[in-house]
Amino acid sequence: MKYKAVLYDMDGTVLNSRNEASERARKALKAAQDAGVKLVVATGRTLKIVPALVHELGFDYAAVSNGASIYDLRTGERVY
């Protein structure tokens, strides 16, 4: 089965308590990207307080405010 997108929880999953991503997490994200999978971060935070590292890691979309909105992180456009 080929996945089109993978959603990741941000706090405690991709990011540790210092808002850092482990090398293991970085490798897993890169492998998914290389396979053509869209990366989506899911968080209870608002878009304004999503750490810059999420953008640097190459996430395509963010489901923020507990899923109330979804943004295209490449354009900043609200898609839902």
pTM of the predicted structure, to 2 decimals: 0.87
47: tokens are: 């878009």
Q: What is the DSSP letter of 37?
A: P
Band (12; pLDDT cuts 50, 70, 90): confident
Strand 5-9 and strand 38-42: the pairing is parallel
Virtual torsion, Cα 10, 13, 18, 23, nearest 10 deg: -110
Q: What is the mean pLDDT of the chain?
A: 93
Rounded average pLDDT over 6-19: 89
Q: Which of 41, 27, 34 lies closest to 73, judged by CA?
A: 41
Which residues does the annotation mark as catalytic? 9
Q: Is the pLDDT of residue 65 over 80?
A: yes
